[in-house]
Structure 1
Amino acid sequence: MKPTSRITIRDVAATAGVSVATVSKVLNARYGVSAATSAHVQAVIRELGYEASLVAQSLRNHKTNVIGILVADLEPFSTELLKGAAKAIKGTGYELVVYSAGGRTSDHAGWEQRYLSRLSGTLVDGAVLVTPTVVEVDFGQAVVAVDPHTGPTGLPTVDSDNLAGARTGVRHLLDLGHRRIALIGGRPDLESAKLREQGYCEELRAAGIPVDPLLIQPGNYDADDSTAAARRLLESPDRPTALFAANDISAIAAIEVAVAMGLRVPEDLSVVGFDNVPEAALARPPLTTVEQPIHEMGHRAIDLLIQLMHGEQTHDTHIRLSTRLVVRQSTAPVGRGT
């Protein structure tokens, strides 16, 4: 390198033996870099006399007073979460903008990074990612993940206690005397679905009931898939007396299948869902469900993001909220209809 050559960020990365993304994180004081690595990179920056371009500095200093929320699709969970985020934003001086992938993300892990690249630097000051597929992002601003696909990530996160919630829902059915309890599971790529299935299995085993693989059917958090799953379960000669669904949409689909088959809910089949979206209370019969505090998840995500954007000290960047059982009319003691 000639003495008169302008030092670039790539020169810093090569000299420090790290990636350009790591140097960028150090320059922008972002999370995801260890203290030792950060100190090493800063020493190389001083040694080489590197100065970020005026354009880059301008982008970093530019404030839009806008927060972006990225969702895979506008469905009941994300819609309810947005309500909590909208409430949290009041009085903060920030505005919200929502970016939806329109559901076109099922085969494209990492879609959030592509959306974030469109927002970087000039459109938003920070972003909330809802059920993201990524574990870290190179964005340049603060990011908070809600209910990430992979569970714990390098990002600040907000989620609910899916494992304990599932155990609570299954325990309710056990307390009503049910022993043949089926599961309509969620999306296998989502950590929340894995934890809910784990909770189902753990609670059955704790009651001394073997887990029957034939009673576990994939619903993928999707109404059509859950309808097919419910039909397979309820057409079985030894059908279940109760059903736990990994989300409310799947539970409501199961109720509709049962009614179409001439079964009575809850007399012939008790059903428990998960989420407590508004559709749960409007179901016929109204759905017993495990409530995760979706509004609060959106609220806490915005609160945490603003703290990070302001550079405030945060004692906990991985927030897990409690769930609770909401009992309605879709569950009853086993054998009540006989």
Structure 2
Amino acid sequence: MTIPSVSPRGGKRLTVKAMAELLNVSTATISNAFNRPDQLSEAKRRWILEECRRLGYLGPNAAARSLRTGRTGIVGVMLADNLAYSLTDPVANEFLHGVAEEFDRRQLNLLLLSSHDDDPCRNRLQESMVDGFIIYGWLQESATYDRLLRHNKPLVAVDFDLEGCTWVNVDNYDGARRSAEHALATPPSNVAILGLRLVDSDRVCRVRDRELFNEVRAISVRRLHGYLDALSTAGHTVSPERIWSTPTNNHQDAYQAAREALTSSPRPDLLLCMSDRIALAAIQAALQMGLRVPEDLRVVGFDGIPEGANIHPSLTTVYQQSAEKGRTAARIFLGEQEDRNVLLRTRLLVRESCP
């Protein structure tokens, strides 16, 4: 069957009703061809789409549909880091996987947004398209929070506390403290801490007299306090000179910090690392320097990414429930879980790097 070519009257955009009349089918059939392909045979769906394309009909108007229902079926996930970095970070990947599992089940879509986008027009357009926001990670620019709050849409925060907003966090303090207590059961001679985003610097640096980020917002500062409290209880002190901060959770920065720590005097025989990526880079640096792990140097990580179990020596680390963070945030957003703050527990995984 072939439909003669037509032009919309007065050059106006074709509607779903007009297309239904032209193709002699119901408006629901046209809508299903675009939005619910499982409701039609493949042959019929293909025919409808081909005819719509030939006649210049682009499909049901999503913007108009959202005005009728008040929902677009799209949820914005605002990322503290840029998109390229977030998609290569194993912890962020697990979190997004957890969110996607829940939204796939409800046939909702994700729109990944980056807090690094400084185009106000694009921001307004993208943020107007979504039904609400899940914010992942601490956004240093407070104006972004203020802008999202002004939308008056559902909002869930992950990995930080935001006043007036339900949050999902991991117990970073407890996980860090317990990992340090395990490491200190065999008393070290010298301890160094390899931190992540402890201070406002875009370079690898020692903390020294720099001002730490706010503990309420920066999960790394919570981990630092967990380490320091365990050290203090065990009678150890770590000066700011022995604490490094890396600006990103990538191998290059982590390797640089590890090399600086391992060439400092006195050389540490215990490294407390605030991420598994940092810890893995530290093990690599140590082995390349001829040090034995754990005989000369013991290393503890934080995150529980799969790579830590697949190397030799395998990494002692704190496992955080990254995918569960995503699932929990999504369920709260969807109203399938009580709208209250959630603090997820961690688990210590003892392996070869710090037995």
Query: Normalized against structure 2, the TM-score is what?
Result: 0.67
2:132 aligns with: 126
Alignment CA distance shift 1:284-1:303 (3 Å): same
Shift of 1:329: 1.5
1:94 aligns with: 108
Within 5 Å, give how 1:26-45 maps onto structure 2. Answer: none
1:283 aligns with: 311
SS in 1 for 2:294: coil
Shift of 1:60: 8.4
Q: Distance in 1 between matches of 2:135 and 2:319?
A: 21
Q: Distance in 1 between matches of 2:121 and 2:228?
A: 37
SS in 2 for 1:120: helix
Q: Flag structure 1 segments of 5+ consecutive residues without an equivalent.
A: 1-54, 333-338
After superposition, what is the alpha-carbon deviation per residue over 1:155-176, rounded to whole angstroms, capped at 9, x for unaligned? 2211101111110111110113
After superposition, what is the alpha-carbon deviation per residue over 1:115-140, rounded to whole angstroms, capped at 9, x for unaligned? 7523334x322221111414442224
After superposition, what is the alpha-carbon deviation per residue over 1:43-67, rounded to whole angstroms, capped at 9, x for unaligned? xxxxxxxxxxxx99x7484322222
After superposition, what is the alpha-carbon deviation per residue over 1:85-127, rounded to whole angstroms, capped at 9, x for unaligned? 12222432323333456xxx3xx8xx69887523334x32222
Larger Rg: 2
SS in 2 for 1:299: helix
2:165 aligns with: 155
1:257 aligns with: 285
Is the CA contact 1:68–1:96 (under 8 Å) kept in the aligned structure 2? Answer: yes
Structure 1 stretch displaced more, 92-101 or 280-289: 92-101
SS in 2 for 1:118: helix
Within 5 Å, give how 1:150-299 maps onto structure 2. Answer: 151-188=161-198, 189=213, 191-220=218-247, 221-299=249-327
Aligned AA for 2:256? A
Is the CA contact 1:70–1:112 (under 8 Å) kept in the aligned structure 2? Answer: no
1:117 aligns with: 124
After superposition, what is the alpha-carbon deviation per residue over 1:259-315, rounded to whole angstroms, capped at 9, x for unaligned? 1101111121111111112222233322111111101100001011111xxxx8945
SS in 1 for 2:72: coil
Shift of 1:248: 0.8
2:342 aligns with: 319
Percent identity for Structure 1 against Structure 2: 35
Q: Distance in 1 between matches of 2:119 and 2:227?
A: 31
Aligned AA for 2:71? K
Q: CA RMSD in A?
A: 2.8
Aligned AA for 1:131? G
1:84 aligns with: 98
Q: Distance in 2 between matches of 1:91 and 1:66?
A: 14
SS in 2 for 1:275: coil
Aligned AA for 2:309? A
Q: Distance in 1 between matches of 2:98 and 2:183?
A: 30
Q: Distance in 2 between matches of 1:285 and 1:278?
A: 14
SS in 1 for 2:301: strand
After superposition, what is the alpha-carbon deviation per residue over 1:16-63, rounded to whole angstroms, capped at 9, x for unaligned? xxxxxxxxxxxxxxxxxxxxxxxxxxxxxxxxxxxxxxx99x748432
1:27 aligns with: none
Shift of 1:204: 0.4
Alignment CA distance shift 1:250-1:143 (3 Å): same
Query: Normalized against structure 1, the TM-score is what?
Result: 0.70
Shift of 1:212: 2.8
SS in 2 for 1:177: coil
Shift of 1:254: 0.7
1:43 aligns with: none
Shift of 1:211: 2.4
Aligned AA for 1:331? C
Aligned AA for 2:100? A
After superposition, what is the alpha-carbon deviation per residue over 1:187-215, rounded to whole angstroms, capped at 9, x for unaligned? 02461111111111111001111223332
Within 5 Å, give how 1:62-77 maps onto structure 2. Answer: 62-71=70-79, 72=81, 73-74=86-87, 75-77=89-91
